[in-house]
Amino acid sequence: MARFQKRRAEAVDGLLLLNKPPGMTSNRALQTVRRLLNAKKAGHTGSLDPAATGMLPLCFGEATKVCAYLLDADKSYRVTARLGVATDTGDADGQEAQTAPVPEMSAADWDLILQGFVGESTQVPPMYSALKKDGKRLYELARQGETVEREARPIRIDEIRLLELAGSRLVFRVRCSKGTYVRTLVEDIAKRAGTVAHTARLHRDAVGAFRAEGMIDLETVERLASEGSGALRERLLPPDTALADMPAVAVDAADGERFSGGQVVDVAASNNKGLARVYGAGRFLGVGELAANGQLAPRRVFRAPRKNLVDI
């Protein structure tokens, strides 16, 4: 009997913006694409609930070093709320927990309520979340029928725009900070209107500087992979595209070597302070931190880009 030899995973570098389909966990989506790329190292940023769809940045090889920065990035969602019915999980996967009449309100009335959530505030995380309490995930406790005290956490809502109002269906787009639970936001919006609600659909269309037009659906990923790993790898984005919101700093060849070796280098005086993208000799070197005195300290060093192997 013929024996099949498992392919050795390869060093593949880059980002892929997957349009995650419904009914799939973020980790399963990552492992599916990782297998198709035959990538050695992989990670994702900003998990989506299985029922949710939309942008899931997948990072491979050197690009896994930007995961932490993408986790901190702002997010944008298209949200469909069903008014009048609350569930135990806050979304459509849960069991009906409460009903309430939906008040007769105009689109202008709802928009006024939505705008009241813009700005900085605090939010109590839901029980059905991956946060831990005494070493246990909150959703594990919730499934056991337990409810524990949760501390309110600071969040920021930058924009909410009403898109549709039809009976018990309320659709809006929200741009918010990391750590914002949209399911809780929907419940809080309904409470302010004098009713209850749950999130019927959730679609993420932006993470940081990445926008919806850059996403690839899983069917396209599978089709490209069937044409050979090169076709799919050509769609990977360079790691520094995830850091477009950071200012860019260029250094000469000598300072580039020192920076890549973990040493602090001096750069020209700049009004920028804080994290920056660092380039030298025509390539991305990593993330550095600019100080007021003009010194640039390495914070995340990237090795020289390597040409991804392709099928011949």
Q: What is the pLDDT of residue 204?
A: 97
Which region, left, alpha or beta, applies to residue 90 given φ > 0 means left and ψ of -120 to 50 means alpha? left
Q: What is the pLDDT of residue 270?
A: 65
Q: What is the pLDDT of residue 145?
A: 78
Q: What number of H helices and E strands is found in the chain?
A: 8, 19
Q: Is 13 a catalytic residue?
A: no
Give the separation between CA 283 and CA 304, rounded to whole angstroms.
Answer: 8
What domains are there in the chain, each with its CATH number?
14-72+210-240 (3.30.2350.10), 75-207 (3.30.2350.10), 246-301 (2.30.130.10)
Query: Do 84 and 196 touch, CB atoms closer than 8 A?
Result: yes
Which of the residues 49, 91, 205, 240 is marked catalytic? 49
pTM of the model: 0.88
> Could you tell me whether strands 75-83 and 53-60 are parallel, antiparallel, or unpaired per DSSP bridges?
unpaired
Give the pLDDT of the chain (312 residues) as one tens digit per residue: 445 456 788 889 999 999 999 999 999 999 999 999 999 999 998 888 888 999 999 999 999 999 989 988 999 999 999 999 999 999 998 999 999 999 999 999 999 999 999 999 999 888 777 777 777 777 777 777 777 788 889 999 999 999 999 999 999 999 999 989 999 999 999 999 999 999 999 999 999 999 999 999 999 999 999 998 789 999 999 999 999 989 999 999 999 999 999 999 998 766 678 999 999 988 999 999 999 888 999 999 998 765 544 332
CA distance between the termini of the chain? 28
Burial class, 289, CB count within 10 angstroms (exposed 0-12 / middle 13-18 / buried 19+): middle
